[in-house]
Amino acid sequence: MPVTLADVDYVADLAHLRFSDDERARLVEQLNDILRYVEQLNELDTTHVEPTSHVLNLKNVFRDDTIESSLPHEVALANAPATSRGHFRVPKVL
């Protein structure tokens, strides 16, 4: 199922991205290229293969429930464009 302009617009909207008409057209092409490339995997018969959700053959790497120190408050806020009373100040939400 090839990617259409509508798909690009929909995904761009979800990602809060804006594109020019040229870019939109190019993205349709590029996304279709990517999908075609991945499509090659379908040539293999995987009927009897467990779906892989991770390439690493690791099992249960856990962390014990212990606390380590967090960032100092000032450092945590240092890169924020705006702060107010110890908070990150952000554009209007909702």
Q: Do 5 and 24 contact (CB within 8 A), yes or no?
A: yes
Maximal CA-CA distance, the chain: 59
Q: Which is nearer to another protein, 1 or 21 (CB)?
A: 1
C-alpha 15: how far from chain center: 9
CB of 71 to another protein, least distance (A): 5
Query: Does 78 participate in binding another protein (rule CB under 8 A)?
Result: no
Q: What's the CA gap between 89 and 83, in Å, rounded?
A: 5
Of 12-51, binders to another protein (CB under 8 A) are: 14, 16
Query: Does 71 participate in binding another protein (rule CB under 8 A)?
Result: yes
Query: Tokens 């939400």 label which residue?
Result: 93
Give contact residues for another protein (rule: CB under 8 A): 14, 16, 53-54, 56, 58-68, 70-71, 73, 76-77, 84-93
